Chains A and B, each alone.
Chain A
Amino acid sequence: MTRRTRLAVAVAGLAAAVAVVAGLGGLDAPTALAGGVGAVLLLGATWLGLRRTVVAFDRAETAPERGGDAAVPGDAFDAELADERGRALDGSSFTRDRIRARLRDLAAHLLVSRRGLTDREAERRLDAGDWTDDDAAAAFLRGDGPTPTLRERLAGADGFVRGVQASVRGLADAVDAPAPPRRSLGDGLRERAGRVGRAEGTPDREGTAGAAGSETRSTGHWTGIGALALASLGVGVAGGAPGVALGGVVAVGYLAAAGTTPPDPTAVAVEREVADTPAPGERVTVRVTVRNESDDHLPDVRVIDGVPAALSVVDGAPRHATALAPGGTDAFEYAVRARRGVHAFEAATVRTRNPTDGAERATTAAADTELDCRLRPAPASGRGLGSAVGRFVGTTPSTTGGPGVAFHSTRAYRPGDPARRVDWNRLARTGELTTVDYREERATTVVLVVDARETARVAPEPDGETALDRSVDAAGALAGDLLAAGNRVGLAAFGPAPLWADPAATRTTEHRLLRLLTEHAAFAPAAPDGEAYAGDWVDRFCAWVDGPATVLLCSPLVDDTAVALVDRLRRAGYPVTVLSPDPTAADTVGRALAGLERRARLSNLRTGGARVVDWDADVALSTALARARRRWSP
């Protein structure tokens, strides 16, 4: 209906109503006219009110604050279990048998390692079901599954999913590990599904996600004011209340003001300032300046900055609203946590609104900004890991005298001895020229191996730091310390992209290794395609290293291949120390299960004689190493 027809209909309706009321009621003309006008106006108000009873305001909105979308170990299991929910099977299925076997293996292992049972005793207790107080868990691992409850029967399900949940909880309790909350299945999945992608959902009236051009759109802010205007006019006229009618006129005024065209958003220029080359994990302040380059006043400018996908905002908000005079500027700041790599900022979303908030135009404003984050050598004063590293990679003070730190012996000066090792006191006292020998520390070859497979790109929460990032940071820090302690250090990646950096101890080694860690494709945020097999990889490793070496493996140990890698390296004769950043969480069944299985792998490796440092997500590397060192001290 066009405006003109609508107006014609309104006038015709008004005339008809007046005629009807006047004819039927025998009222005098002015009163009838007032009643008729009022009735029509009220009808109009009802129509407007009904037309817009449900308005979808600001349902979806971009969330550039959230960086990263790393997988959490155990999400695949949650998805698998979610498929089994609401189903009842008469017999068994391949999937269910596999899940049950996986849990039973884990249970047996935990009973053996934690409670000191023999394998046979563990199996017997699992069969008897007396390893736990929980009936559902006991029945599930016994193999006959919990009997479905009435509710499950009504939902067409059986007790399988409940059995899995109970078992994981029971096992977590049995080893004092964090247990998943009850009813935890699926919550994590829903949450994760909601975080896929960064611009969530479709743009709506208040929340435009990005390039919407600069056409004028209603914001919906004044929805309902038209109905209020008509209702006021209707009541005012029909009820003889001039004040209410005057209020209706005010409402009409707002309706008129709401439709004015907002200023052009492309007049807004956005500039960004970020610190140069921060180190990974560093807090970086981003300062965004917004400038009005037009001659118009901009009463409402809203900016949402395009934070790079991988970065999380840790302080402030990348959002700002301001009013700008011609040529005026305003600035805001927020802070992100830097992650290794070069991150390009995306265009900022800019919206302008008219003075009464009723209409807006949107555009995007690009400003080429990059955050270049690379590993840096720690300052000499910051090297705190040296002795800890030395201990766990096995550098041992030798009994031979030579250059070093600790005093060993003195001997007669030989031509060529460095002047700083001459015992000048003795020369002054006795006139004898002697040289001091220190206890020589035998240089060890240490190869840092980083597990860089897809499975290492996991974090305890989707926007958390991945195990790979932590491994790479740690490898960088350890390389510096090992080199400073006089070791030869090499670097290799266990993953589809080959990386073999020969062990060396020259002045440029640290820079070379840090550059590789920062830039090499093996450590990129997205894993290169391909598989890595422990056997083949260790064969190549042996051919490459050529001589004795100590291996320091950085791996989250979230699958058995990592354990196989350690076993094969050890069998090939290399002492292995594992530094394992813990990427597991416990807020869903699958995540808790992944955590329990990782614990089992750690204890297996330790039983087998490997040194393992379990590195929690919220603990500094130096602290984790210090704790591990205390554990190993006699």
Chain B
Amino acid sequence: MTDLDRRPARQSAAVSLVVAGLVVAVLWAASAAGAAVAAVGWACLLVGVTRSSRRLVSAWLVAAWLGAVLNAPAAPPLSTAGVVLGGVVAWDTGQRAVGLGRTLTREATTARVETVHAGATAAVGAVTLAVGYAAAVVVAGAGGLAGGAVLALAVAAAASLALLVGREG
């Protein structure tokens, strides 16, 4: 028989590219600099989910994050956080496409699992964002996210992170 077709799973690859495209579009609305960096990342993602490269898929996440940071002064906080969230969702589905392709091959039926995972990732991100935003608003009052609120939020998050990091890197 011929070699197994271990290219990335189609559905997750497509979802990943679409979500990443939305992220680039949102960045574009705020400033061109961030969007340009993220667009380079999108190209990396495209090659990554075509040629089965985890490194290139991760390059997308770095680029999307840099885009979010560059755009932060010009964009509302929720939009920036949304960009990070979208970047993570696209990265997650892209990595899943690569992993499914490598372990189960393209011949295998994987659509159901891909849908479940994409939904779970989006839900986890949306819930965390909502809770985090609500917490920050409560701490800072209705006036918006001031320095003190962000600091408190960050320290709390870092503490949770320190507890979690033993399990996952």
Contact = CB atoms under 8 A, between A and B. Distances in A.
Interface of A: 2-3, 6-7, 10, 30, 33-34, 37, 41, 44, 48, 51-52, 55, 57-58, 61, 63, 65-66, 206-207, 218-219, 221-233, 235-237, 239-259, 299-302, 304, 312-314, 316-317, 319-323, 330, 332, 334, 355-358, 463
Contacts of A207: 102-103
Contacts of A312: 1
A257 B158 CA distance: 16
B167 A245 contact: no
B155 interface: yes
A6 B54 CA distance: 30
A48 B166 CA distance: 11
Interface in B113-169: 113-117, 120-121, 124-125, 127-129, 131-133, 136, 145, 147-151, 153-155, 157-169
A302 B81 CA distance: 33
Contacts of A227: 169
B16 interface: no
A332 B103 CA distance: 16
Please name the 5 residue pairs, one residue from A and one from B, whose CB atoms are nearest each other, closest first.
A243-B80, A247-B84, A253-B128, A317-B107, A243-B77
Contacts of B150: 236-237, 240, 242, 245
Interface of B: 1, 4, 54, 58, 61, 65, 68-69, 72-73, 75-81, 83-85, 88, 92, 95-96, 98-100, 102-105, 107-110, 112-117, 120-121, 124-125, 127-129, 131-133, 136, 145, 147-151, 153-155, 157-169
A299 B117 contact: yes
B22 to A, nearest CB: 16
B69 A244 contact: yes
Given A319-B104, A319-B108, 18 more contacts: A30-B147, A33-B151, A37-B155, A58-B99, A206-B102, A222-B168, A223-B169, A228-B65, A243-B84, A247-B80, A247-B83, A249-B129, A250-B85, A254-B92, A254-B125, A319-B107, A321-B110, A322-B113
A299 B116 contact: yes
24 contacts: A48-B165, A206-B99, A207-B103, A219-B99, A231-B65, A233-B158, A241-B72, A242-B136, A243-B76, A246-B133, A246-B136, A246-B153, A247-B80, A248-B157, A249-B157, A250-B129, A252-B164, A299-B116, A300-B116, A302-B113, A321-B113, A330-B112, A355-B120, A357-B92
Contacts of B147: 30, 34, 240
Nearest to B2: A65
A225 B116 contact: no
Contacts of B103: 58, 61, 206-207, 302, 319
A255 B104 CA distance: 25
A241 B73 contact: yes
Contact of A243 (B79, B96, B99): B79
A241 B80 contact: yes
Contacts, number: 259
Given A243-B81, A357-B92, A224 B153 contact: no
Contacts of A313: 1
Contact of B81 (A6, A63, A247): A247
Determine which residue in B54, B96, B124 has the highest number of CB atoms from chain A within 10 A of its CB, and name it: B124
Given A319-B105, A357-B96, A233 B154 contact: yes
Nearest to A249: B132
Contact of B105 (A2, A259, A317): A317
Contact of A254 (B75, B128, B159, B166): B128
Contacts of B155: 37
A209 to B, nearest CB: 11
A411 B92 CA distance: 92
A254 B104 contact: no
A7 B120 contact: no
A57 B97 CA distance: 13
Contact of A221 (B85, B99, B114, B129): B99
B124 A254 contact: yes
A547 B68 CA distance: 93
Nearest to A323: B116
B100 to A, nearest CB: 7
Contacts of A258: 167-168
B68 A244 contact: yes
Contacts of B105: 317, 319
Contact of B164 (A231, A255, A304, A314): A255
Nearest to A33: B151
A232 B64 CA distance: 12
Contacts of A33: 151
Q: Which of A3, A218, A254, A302 has the most CB of B within 10 A?
A: A254
B101 to A, nearest CB: 9
A237 to B, nearest CB: 5
Nearest to A1: B166
Given A10-B158, A243-B75, A256-B164, A221 B120 contact: no
Given A257-B124, A300-B117, A323 B112 contact: yes
A207 B161 CA distance: 28
Contacts of A37: 151, 154-155, 158
